[in-house]
Structure 1
Amino acid sequence: MDDILFSRRRAERFAQLLDEANGGRRHHVRSRVDSQLAPLVAVGQRLSVDPPTPEVTADFRTGLRAMLLATAEREGMGVTPATAEPAAPRAAATSRGSLLPAVTARRARARGAILVGIAAGAIAVSGISAASENAVPGDALYGMKRSTERAQLALASSDISRGQLFLDFARTRLGEAAELRGDRIGYSAVLDDMDADTRQGVRLLTAAAVQRAEPASLDTVNTFVASQRRAVTNLLDGASRADRERTRRSLALLDSIRERSDSVRAAIACGLPAPTGSDALGPTPTTCPGER
């Protein structure tokens, strides 16, 4: 109960501070959370002065439309009842039956309103997501940035799509690391996240290559490794000793990934059965006959 009350008071105080920042009536009170809320108030003020223009991509529209249609189908919206009401039931039943279509219509309208609200909310959130694209750890909008990434993963239609998204996120973490050079703790933490995203993506893509017995997804891995290695190497320029040591660990991971990709490609080419073992980078194929 205390946590609920504290959260409510925190939200009310944030609303007061935001109202004051936008020229509203001053409340002449102070709270111990004012210093914590100040960065959020600054973000809210910037968004009210210069709101971002939502850029809804074709993929987002397609995914949202599919979600709304699936919900409409599941809830039976727009479906005509298969059987009509009896023509001459008892008086009480007739009265009750005449109310059912109206109730059903109201429920359908309510569901429709909810779906419209979801759509409008999603589009509004996409604008905030655009504003958070350049956020780095410690910024007020960084949590929104990571939440948007999780939403993209949830909407992905296949393991290959999810694997490609993880590699895209690893590229994003690399850009954040470049902004945090000199901050030893923050820099190392972002590279940890980058390596974790890299492993997730590679594991999904190498597994897909083995399951399909075709190396197309390995081309995605190799292209990523080549470009990512060049960019990670650039982080070594002017870096401190601690940052250089941490950066080299990420480079070593990329080298291991390229070796794994090549071994999986060779196993597919010589027709080896799907490997039963796996590790953080996905399937661990055996060596083709004659290569020992």
Structure 2
Amino acid sequence: AARFLADFPTLVVRCGSIDAPLCPYMETGAQPGGDPAAGTALHGAQLLWDSGFSLGRLLAGLCGRLVIGESCPGNGVTSRLILRALGYRADALEDLPSGDEGPSPWERASSRLGIRPGDLIGRGFEAAIELGDPVLVTAAAITAGAMGGPDILLSGGLPMLAVSAILRDLGEKGRISISTTTRTEEDLGGAFGAISKLLDLQVQLADIGDVPDGAGASGAVLLSGKYDITPERVLQRAEYLRHEISDQGSRSGEGEQ
């Protein structure tokens, strides 16, 4: 909705999804991430980093403002694992329900690696390989490649905090901004601001009511503001698109009958 209204340029980067996006995209060749509790979560991480870093360098020469968002099923878990392994503490980082009465994701992954919270401080890339996913590594690599060029805004909640934590652990000291929606900030119970402060991030919030962050929502709304598009207009357009997609789905279902 924000892109339709503001008409800013976008680039979709596929990094490990099982199904290809239904739009033009750039391919990284990344494999889908694995279960951190069962084994190393990410294979081919160095090649993925090099690919993302090169893309960041390219984008740095093409724009003065770069907004990076993400959409990855399950990275609420991988983000928490990375942040805990790198020593960050907050109630919001406690494990999500595992769906059964067995050990939690952190208990299983940390048991496999023989680590406690904070044990991978100074080994951020290892934390990303063992506990992360292709999206987090790609986002971190693009950011690293673009540093020193455009203003960079990481758009998202815990996933972008994990991306920032990886970068800071690797020694990146450059200026990084991070955004999320007011709903996500509230859901994280103060953890977003507290961890952002520890990571020396410039925080921006997008007030779009009860909409949680995802797929770069906060960054898209904030970027739209540079084109004099209000959050209210973005929400109205999003609602229109939702109905349009729903109607198309209904017509498709009727045709199959």
Report if TM-score (shorter chain) is over 0.5.
no
Highest RCO, 1 vs 2 (Cα 8 Å, sep ≥ 6): 2
Query: Per residue, is there more strand in 1 or in 2?
Result: 2
TM-score, length basis structure 2:
0.26
The structure richer in helix per residue is 1
TM-score, length of structure 1 as denominator length = 0.24
Greater gyration radius: 1
